[in-house]
Amino acid sequence: MANLGSNDQRVLTTLKKSNKPLSAYDILDRTRSAALKAPVQVYRALQKLEKRGLVHRVEALNAFVACCDDHHGLHRPGFVVCRDCGVAREFEDKRVARVAEDAAGPDFLIETISLEIYGRCAPCRAAA
C-alpha cells in the first residue's frame, strides 16, 4: 500500500489478523515494538487508515476493524456484532443513508451515520 508508514502498516496488519474489533490499547499490546509504543502513535495511524477507508471505527465499542475490502475507498459501512464472541461483520446498504436522510430532514446536515447491530451469532447461540 503506497504512502503508508511502517506504523500504519503494523496497525493495519494487526487489525487484519483479528476478526474482532480492537481498541487502540489492544492494538498497542499486539504491536508493541521499538517504533510503536505510545497510544498517540496508534491513534495517528488509525486516523490515517480511517481516512483512506482501510479501517473503520465501531462507535459503540470505541474499537476498530480492518475494512473487509482494500479497494472500495472511503465508505461508511454498518456492523453486525456478536456480543458473545465479539466478531464484527461489515455490511453496506444504500437504504440506510436514505432512511437517515428521511429521519434527519432536509435542513439537517448529516455528518456521520452509524448503524451497529448487536446480538448473538449462530455458533454462539448453538454453543449456549
Query: Which chain residues interact with Zn ion by CB under 5 A?
Result: 67, 77, 82, 84-85, 121, 124
Provide the minimum distance between the beta carbon of 66 and Zn ion in the complex, in angstroms, as a whole number.
8
CB of 17 to Zn ion, least distance (A): 17
Q: Which is nearer to Zn ion, 22 or 82 (CB)?
A: 82
Q: What region does 120 belong to: left with phi over 0, alpha with psi -120 to 50, or beta?
A: beta
Nearest residue (CB) to Zn ion, 37 versus 69: 69
Cα distance between residue 81 and residue 71, in whole Å:
23
- Convert 10-74 into a string of H (helix), E (strand) and C (coil): HHHHHHHHCCCCECHHHHHHHHCCCCCCCHHHHHHHHHHHHHCCCEEEEHHHCEEEECCCCCCCC
Q: How far is the CB of 32 from Zn ion (least distance, A)?
A: 26
Nearest residue (CB) to Zn ion, 109 versus 128:
128
Which triple of cell numbers denotes residue 96? Answer: 440506510
Closest to Zn ion by CB, 21 vs 77, is 77
CB 121, min distance to Zn ion, A: 4
